[in-house]
Amino acid sequence: MGREAREMEARELRTVGAVTRRKDGLAKVTGTETYASDMELPYMLHARVLRSPYPHARVVSIDTSAAERMGAICITPDDVPDIRYNERQVSVPVKTYRDRTVLPWVVRQVGEGVAAVAARTEALAERAMRAIKVEWEELPAVFDAHKAMADDAPQIYENVLLGDAEFPIEHNVACFRQVSVGDVAVGFEEADLIVEREYQTGRVYHAQMEPKAALCRPLADGGIELWATLQSIHNTRQLLGRIFDLPLSRIRVHRSTIGGAFGSSIQMNTPVAICVALALKARKPVKLVLTREEDMYDHCKYPAEISLKYGVKRDGTIVAGELKTLVDIGAHNIQAYPLLGCMSGWFVSLYRMPHMNFEGTAVYTNKTPACAMQGYGNPDVSFAVESHMDIIAEKLDIDPIELRIKNYVGLGEEFWGQGPTVRSIIRSCGVEEMLRKGAPMIGWDERGRPEDKTGRYRRGIGVGRTFHTSGTGAAMPGEVIDYSTAMVTVNEDGSVDMSTALMCHGGGTLDACAKLVAEEMGVSFDLVGVSPASTTDTGYDVCTHATRGVYCGGGSAVKAAKSAKAVLLDFASRLIEVNPEALQIAPDPVTGEGVIFLEGAADKRITVGEVAKTAQLKGWGTAIAVESHRMVNCPPCFVTNFVEVEVDTWTGEVRVPRAVCAVDAGTVVNPDLAAGQLEGGLCRGIGQALLEDTAYDPVTGEMTCGGMYIDYKLYTAEDMAPVDDVKVFFADTYEPSGPFGAKGIGEAANNAVAAAVMNALQNALGIRFQFIPITPDMILAAIHGWACEGVLPA
């Protein structure tokens, strides 16, 4: 769209970009919102899962008789289908590794479930579960990715399925991926300077507020109904159909409000299948809610070891880059193959490189399985690359901001939204604007040099920039499935229903879609309702992940709204005798109801409600449309984070007293919710930089925090910067391929925060930290020159 057209459209936006109250807010502030863990059904039983105390063991026998005598319904590996599955259904089947069953005979991590019970109360279920006797044969275990690849390492799998074919596992390598562009050897030859460094990121826990839950009701026809903590109702239904051999028409998965996700429920999590198996056996509704400690043993973020090498010219032009990564995926391969592809894409799309090589290895260990967490490899790649940019800038004596502006991938250039098979051309870009505008806001030019800083408390300023894909759409099909379906209905009173299987994880995705529909339909936001959704009353939507909610989900909603509007205008044209193409709709300033009118003709006006009601009475039908829509693009939303740190050099404590967060999300649909995404991303990013990790006892294979918040700490309100010292701004951009110019935001919000914090620490102390999280222990070790794991010798 040309500049003129874009400005005209922006001028005319009524609802998109306005600050509105979220539609689910009332239920949430009154405590009446119903999450899956709050659901209750008559005669419902409560479930508990018997979990392995060993990191690697074979179940020799299970005796459930004592539990059954207590009245509990019990399931063991004998009672579940012998189907190997992958809980994540986003990739095409031939790229999907399947290594788990509902209840396994061989456990590969502490906390893996091998049996489950259902009883009248949770306490009774817990007692019955503890009454089950399991005879275990302990197997050797390995907790380190490097050791796992050694010749003498315990073999965690002999084989898994890739698609439907057997895939042998050697040296515990779950998958390997190499992607190259040009000839990296030639590129490094051309370079004036080569900088090589190692980086490492932590095994962070998602810590979504609501532990995972599932409630399953068996139906008379053998089917099931399910409420659960999910990010995709349709993928869950398809997977349950496959595991339990049920026709999809007999599986109804409801969308439930979710208490935070951050990626933790992209896949159909383990409690879902266990709950379904129990309900099918009990012939009664069964509810399974994980304890926090079970939840922490159920999933974590993919950590990464990264070896990064860039070759640059004297003027700062990057000529070659190579990134090798080793990812410790834990006990199951949930989505390591696409992760590695994405990491290559994040690497390629941050800075222009004529020659590039990427090698990623994903390795099994006997730990909690890793899955996608906000950013999906991008926080790791951005941390390494953005640290590297500062190192290069320092070596070349170039301002770090200028180095970034010189090399960033921007307008008109190719972008890999989801690995090498999902590519698009960047058509909106606010990178330079954010860097130039943000720098003075944080006081970039006054940040000083570390060698000039003295005293106990030292401050430093750092920058990190990043992006994330908006969904995984592309012109051609790739390894990743991406489309959404939406239905828009014009009701007989002029209100509008929007129905979609899209999820809101809290960020306001469904509100954004309702706003886009309101904008397109010409009615007020208040008159657009978000319908409850289940698999039986919505079309397919892949999953609310990959920062695709607004761009892809919204894209389908707008398309459905356009189609419904066309039907409506056709009805209207019959009533007021105006060619439908000449009609417009705008909300009545008082009632908010849509008014259909011909510009300049006072008598050619009729409300949307009148048209819909008349069409009903005359039997013309309903103005309704369903659209299944794939975006042919996946534009990057760019984010830039500036942070200031203050280090107490005596205690090693680090605070972030100030920050500037900027986003280029195209047209901003929900300004205050968008700001909330950036503020939340900042907080989580600081947590990844300075606080959060899960460590394992090398003997027992248990997490040292035991899965408890007593020792897995999260930042509190008191740890964060004052509200006025966290500035958020939006770049002035318009994405031509997006609904009303919008792109995504979600994941981009935290990708660059850790790099910004580490760059600020370098500016404060003159010390470069390359392993995160950096704790006060490590800060002191670095300052005093103590030996400390995770701190490189100076």
Site for another protein in 687-716 (CB under 8 A): 691, 695, 704-706, 708-711, 713-716
In terms of CB distance, is 124 or 175 closer to another protein?
Answer: 124
Q: Which listed residue (682, 742, 748, 772) binds another protein by CB under 8 A?
A: 682
Residue 425 binds another protein (CB under 8 A): no
Residue 269 CA to residue 260 CA, distance in Å, equals: 14
Contact pick of 53, 154, 448, 766 for another protein (by CB under 8 A): 53
Report the nearest approach of another protein to the CB of residue 26 (Å): 7
Restricted to residues 261-300, the positions that interact with another protein (CB under 8 A) are: 261-262, 289, 291-294, 297
What is the closest distance, in whole angstroms, from the C-beta atom of residue 274 to another protein in the complex?
15
- Of 187 and 259, nearer to another protein (C-beta) is 259
CB of 15 to another protein, least distance (A): 16
How far apart CA 241 and CA 537 sit, in angstroms, is 17
**Cβ atoms 67, 117 nearer than 8 A:** yes
Q: At closest approach, how far in Å is the CB of 136 from another protein?
A: 13
For the segment 196-235, give every residue that binds another protein (CB under 8 A). Answer: 207-211
User: Is residue 272 a contact partner of residue 213, using CB atoms and an 8 Å limit?
Assistant: no
| Distances in whole angstroms, Cα of residue 598 to Cα of each of 74, 582, 606, 708 | 68, 6, 10, 63
71 binds another protein (CB under 8 A): no
Beta carbon of residue 493, minimum distance to another protein (angstroms, whole number): 24
- List strand residue ranges (DSSP E) for 102-204, in order: 106-107, 113-119, 133-138, 159-162, 165-168, 173-181, 193-200
Kindly write out the interface string for residues 90-119 of this chain, putting x where it contacts another protein by CB under 8 A and - elsewhere: --------------------xx--------
35 touching another protein, by CB under 8 A: yes
Backbone angles phi, psi at 783, to 5 degrees: -65, -40
Number of residues that bind another protein (CB under 8 A): 92
Please tell me whether residue 769 binds another protein under the rule CB under 8 A: no
| Shortest separation between residue 683's beta carbon and another protein, angstroms | 3
Closest CA to 360 of 345, 370, 375, 350: 345
Contact 557, 739 (CB under 8 A): yes
* Binds another protein by CB under 8 A, chosen from 202, 369, 494, 681: 681
Q: Is 644 in the site for another protein (CB under 8 A)?
A: no
Asked if residues 140 and 156 have their Cβ atoms less than 8 Å apart, the reply is no
- Closest approach, Cβ 690 to another protein, in A, equals 10
Q: How far apart are CA 38 and CA 213, in angstroms?
A: 9
Stretch that binds another protein, among 21-29, 467-475, 536-544, 567-575 (CB under 8 A): 21-29
Candidates 5, 7, 8, 21; binder of another protein (CB under 8 A) is 21
In the beta sheet, which residues pair with residue 429?
Answer: none
The one segment of 31-39, 69-77, 360-368, 556-564 that binds another protein by CB under 8 A: 31-39
Using the rule CB under 8 A, is 754 a contact of another protein? no
Contacts of 622 (CB under 8 A, 6+ apart): 489, 490, 567, 612, 615, 616
Please tell me what DSSP assigns to residue 608: H
Beta carbons of 450 and 649 less than 8 angstroms apart: no
Helix (H) or strand (E) holding 681: helix 671-690
**Does 507 interact with another protein (rule: CB under 8 A)?**
yes
Residues 313-372 contacting another protein, CB under 8 A: none
Cα–Cα distance measured from residue 684 to residue 682, given in angstroms and rounded to the nearest whole number = 6
What whole-number distance in Å separates Cα of residue 452 and Cα of residue 195? 25
Residue with tokens 């459930």: 64
Write the Ramachandran bin of 480: left for phi over 0, alpha for psi from -120 to 50, otherwise beta: beta
- Find the length of the chain: 794
With respect to another protein, which residue has the nearer C-beta, 168 or 722? 722
Of the candidate spans 328-336, 516-524, 629-637, 775-783, the one that interacts with another protein by CB under 8 A turns out to be 775-783
- Asked whether position 133 contacts another protein by CB under 8 A, the answer is no
Question: Site mask, another protein, residues 655-674, x = CB under 8 A?
Answer: ---------------x-xx-
Q: Tell me the residue type at 101.
A: T
SS3 content of the chain, % helix, strand, coil (to 5): 30, 25, 40
Amino acid, res. 249: S
Q: Judged by CB under 8 A, which stretch of 137-145, 331-339, 594-602, 718-726 contacts another protein?
A: 718-726
Q: Is 311 in the site for another protein (CB under 8 A)?
A: no
Q: Which of 8-16, 397-405, 412-420, 683-691 is the region at the interface with another protein (rule: CB under 8 A)?
A: 683-691
